[in-house]
């Protein structure tokens, strides 16, 4: 179903598995209406003592008049990153069977005064000293600028759900290099081992919450594995939790001195394992270049520190070049990071970088493209953030050529110039949890595109992600949050949140922990008006639209695959064939190449008249600057269906109104290089 100019949508595709799960949930009494009493949202056995939620009123459920689910979506959070990086970088746990006092306590090496809080010192500045006592006093943490303490305690997540959030993406995260260089750890640094543990604990937390509500399936925290299941959960008024992965070396796919340390078999095995764990979205690269793709750089001192980590992991520093278009990677800069640079071998130093050469020269590798297409086969969603401009552009080329909608930008780590293309294929974007004024300003820059495609908006809190969160605006700030306030739907009342002896006020504490998400949204409303909040409230529906369309995707038949092909010329080589059939054999490792002159053509015979509406051209380095797509039913009379004078190589997709054709001709008019025209693959589809 197509909605408001946004293609490739599929709505509410209830799978057989989802229907079975719904029937079972009804039999087990897991629906809200089956819970004893009328206050289905109130647990029957909450641990005592525990943090308060401080929200009253029934959580909204059901759909709006258009049949759309309502609510906010957090597309990027790290509930269990305390288990990452060797297990001691983030202190405290999101839940504990031993109670809140065990969950919300500092790392042992931080006692008595935080002197050994090395990572806190590096990220926050100062001397790292702080009061390590968590529950019940919480004097110094959690705080918006403390990056090493737990912010995702389950009761704080509960407050966000009660405040209107209906979808949460829990990105399982780690980084082997950070783990290896950090002083304190209680486990090994294998990334996939950490991912498996975090997935298990996500299900354990679901069971922990279920137990409070009377048994399996009865809690508000529901891990979902397809969009239909997610819709059912949201319609019941509960929180749909999606598992994602953000790690630097997925499937062991690091690279050392530019040599990949994984294979296609490793990628297939890894994707199958992650899918089996319930993972439905993932990043392919993060912080360090790997065997799959180059990264979008970090800047300043942090960028230099990560570049050191890049060298320690891969044996190479980041390499930059001129950006090919208006999209750019983050500038690295030449800031010092003395503590990190001490880790380098004697005689090795971080290179300096030119300000006018800002883009990573490393893009999507052949293995990376194999992984992208592997995710498409499994109907998974790919996270575009953290990919270099070169890699992200290739991914969008692939998705556009295949009409695949499963692309997400979850926390402002994508050049915003890609936004139109992301929406154009049916993807979804969200913004990092910045301060209210900045968030509203950034949201305004893409408002016209959201209106054009009829989509909502999301936020990526990145809690426990070592990023920093909204600072307090002050008790006397204009348009400050006043307590209590009503939730966006108007059905709940939200007061200041209390845990133990500490009560948080967004005006003076900012985004200190996850329970402050509703307060932050209220701050956005007061600072920037209702429009941005309205778009955010439509976020869950749009995210689930993208997910559902990804699940429904089936690749159209390539009418050119294996078809007879002819050409005006073919480059002669005594070792390798460059005949026209090489461009339609389904192998990107082969290609057709023409003689070295402008007026050249490649023609594909489809074997019969078919409806043709889309042609994809995967160019080798020798590409066409000016060329056209011609169609014919008899091979004699031709009509031009599409043309360009601005070809730039890579993977091009020509779309046009479907028309009958037996013959499809790529007519080169002007070359983009000194060589001829060279095509690895030509694809022809009905539309």
pLDDT tens digit string along 470-520? 999 999 999 999 999 999 999 999 999 999 999 999 999 999 999 999 999
pLDDT tens digit string along 353-402? 998 899 999 999 999 999 999 999 999 999 999 999 999 999 999 999 99
pLDDT of residue 122: 67
Q: Region 411-422: what's the mean pLDDT?
A: 96
Identify which of 292, 460, 280, 304 has the alpha carbon closest to the alpha carbon of residue 388: 292
Provide the 8-state DSSP code for 468: -
pLDDT tens digit string along 177-213? 888 888 899 999 999 999 999 999 999 999 999 999 9
Identify which of 323, 317, 292 has the alpha carbon closest to the alpha carbon of residue 305: 317
Which three-class secondary structure state does DSSP give residue 618? strand
pLDDT tens digit string along 250-302? 999 999 999 999 999 999 999 999 999 999 999 999 999 999 999 999 999 88
Domain boundaries, the chain: 55-294+362-552, 297-303+319-361, 565-685
pLDDT tens digit string along 559-588? 999 999 999 999 999 999 999 999 999 999
Beta strands in 57-114 (DSSP E): 72-77
pLDDT of residue 34: 34
pLDDT of residue 212: 96
Tell me if 284 sits within 8 A of 293, measured CB to CB. Answer: yes
pLDDT tens digit string along 604-633? 999 999 999 999 999 999 999 999 999 999
The answer to which of 22-26, 69-73, 544-548, 579-583 has the lowest mean pLDDT is: 22-26
Q: Region 632-657: what's the mean pLDDT?
A: 97
pLDDT of residue 118: 76
Q: Given its phi and psi angles, is residue 37 left (phi above 0), alpha (psi -120 to 50 degrees) or beta?
A: left
Q: Which residues contact 351 (CB under 8 A, 6 or more apart)?
A: 317
Q: Would you state the structure tokens that stand for residue 286, as one six-digit string?
A: 């993060």
pLDDT of residue 13: 43
- Residue percentage of the chain with pLDDT more than 90: 87
Q: Measured between alpha carbons, how far is 208 from 196 in angstroms, rounded to an integer?
A: 18
Tell me if 256 sits within 8 A of 273, measured CB to CB. Answer: no
Q: Would you state the structure tokens that stand for residue 489, as one six-digit string?
A: 């739907």
Class in CATH terms, 565-685: mainly beta
Q: Where are the alpha helices (DSSP H) in 148-263?
A: 154-162, 176-181, 191-212, 227-235
Q: Region 209-228: what's the mean pLDDT?
A: 97
- Asked if the model's pLDDT at residue 225 lies above 70, the reply is yes
- Residue percentage of the chain with pLDDT more than 70: 94
Protein fold of 55-294+362-552: TIM Barrel (3.20.20)
pLDDT of residue 125: 67
Strands 565-567 and 221-223: what pairing?
unpaired
Residue 566: beta bridge partners? 603
pLDDT tens digit string along 2-32? 334 454 444 444 343 343 333 333 333 333 3
Mean pLDDT, the chain, rounded, equals 92
């Amino acid at each position: 179903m197509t909605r408001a100019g946004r293609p490739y949508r599929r709505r509410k595709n209830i799978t057989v598995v989802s229907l079975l799960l719904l029937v079972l949930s009804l039999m087990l009494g897991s629906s809200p209406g089956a819970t004893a009493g009328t206050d289905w949202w109130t647990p029957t056995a909450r641990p005592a003592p525990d943090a308060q939620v401080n929200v009253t009123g029934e959580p909204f459920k059901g759909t709006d008049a258009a049949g759309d689910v309502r609510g906010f979506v957090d597309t990027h959070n790290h509930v269990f990153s305390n288990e990452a990086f060797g297990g001691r970088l983030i202190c405290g746990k999101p839940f504990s069977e031993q109670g809140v006092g065990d969950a919300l306590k500092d790392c042992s090496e931080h006692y008595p005064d935080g002197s050994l809080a090395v990572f806190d010192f590096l990220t926050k500045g100062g001397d790292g000293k702080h009061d390590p006592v968590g529950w019940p006093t919480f004097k110094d943490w959690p705080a918006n600028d403390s990056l090493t303490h737990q912010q995702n305690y389950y009761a704080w997540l509960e407050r966000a759900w009660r405040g209107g959030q209906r979808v949460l993406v829990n990105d399982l995260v780690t980084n082997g290099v950070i783990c290896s260089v950090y002083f304190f750890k209680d486990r090994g640094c294998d990334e996939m081992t950490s991912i498996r543990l975090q997935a298990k604990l996500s299900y354990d937390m679901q069971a922990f919450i279920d137990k409070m509500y009377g048994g399996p399936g009865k809690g508000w925290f529901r891990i979902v594995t397809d969009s239909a299941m997610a819709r059912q959960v949201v319609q019941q008024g509960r929180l749909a939790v999606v598992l994602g992965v953000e790690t630097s070396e997925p499937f062991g796919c690091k690279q050392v001195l530019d040599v990949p340390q994984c294979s296609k078999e490793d990628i297939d095995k890894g994707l199958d394992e992650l899918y089996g764990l319930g993972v439905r979205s993932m990043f392919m690269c993060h912080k360090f270049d790997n065997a799959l793709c180059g990264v979008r750089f970090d800047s300043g001192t942090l960028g230099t520190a990560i570049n050191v980590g890049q060298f320690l992991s891969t044996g190479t520093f980041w390499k930059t070049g001129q950006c090919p278009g208006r999209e750019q990677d983050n500038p690295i800069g030449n800031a010092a990071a003395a503590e990190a640079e001490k880790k380098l071998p004697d005689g090795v130093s971080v290179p300096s970088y030119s300000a006018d050469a800002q883009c990573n020269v490393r893009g999507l590798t052949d293995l990376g493209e194999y992984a992208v297409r592997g995710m498409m086969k499994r109907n998974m969603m790919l996270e575009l953030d953290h990919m270099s401009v070169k890699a992200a552009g290739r991914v969008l080329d692939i998705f556009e050529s295949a009409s695949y909608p499963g692309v997400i930008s979850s926390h402002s780590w994508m050049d915003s110039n890609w936004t139109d293309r992301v929406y154009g294929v049916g993807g979804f974007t969200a913004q990092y949890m910045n301060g209210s004024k900045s968030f509203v300003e950034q949201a305004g820059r893409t408002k016209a595109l959201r209106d054009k495609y009829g989509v909502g908006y999301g936020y990526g809190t990145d809690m426990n992600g070592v990023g920093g969160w909204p600072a307090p605006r002050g008790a006397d700030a204009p348009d400050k949050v006043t307590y209590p306030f009503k939730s966006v739907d108007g059905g709940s009342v939200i007061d200041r949140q209390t845990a133990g002896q500490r009560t948080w006020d967004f005006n003076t504490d900012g985004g200190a922990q996850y329970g402050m998400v509703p307060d932050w949204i209220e701050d956005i409303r007061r600072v920037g008006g209702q429009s941005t909040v309205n778009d955010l409230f439509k976020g869950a529906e749009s995210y689930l639209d993208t997910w559902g369309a990804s699940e429904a995707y089936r690749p159209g038949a390539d009418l050119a695959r294996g078809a007879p092909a002819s050409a005006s010329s073919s480059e002669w080589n005594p070792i390798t064939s460059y005949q026209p059939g090489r461009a339609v054999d389904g192998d990107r490792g082969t290609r057709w190449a023409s003689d070295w002159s402008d007026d050249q053509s490649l023609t594909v015979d489809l074997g019969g008249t078919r409806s043709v509406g889309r042609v994809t051209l995967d160019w080798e380095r020798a590409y066409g600057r000016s060329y056209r797509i011609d169609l014919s039913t008899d091979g004699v009379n031709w009509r031009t269906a599409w043309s360009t004078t601005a070809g730039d190589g890579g993977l091009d997709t020509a779309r046009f109104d479907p028309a009958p054709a037996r013959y499809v001709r790529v007519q080169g008019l002007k070359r983009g290089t000194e060589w001829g025209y060279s095509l690895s693959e030509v694809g022809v589809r009905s539309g």
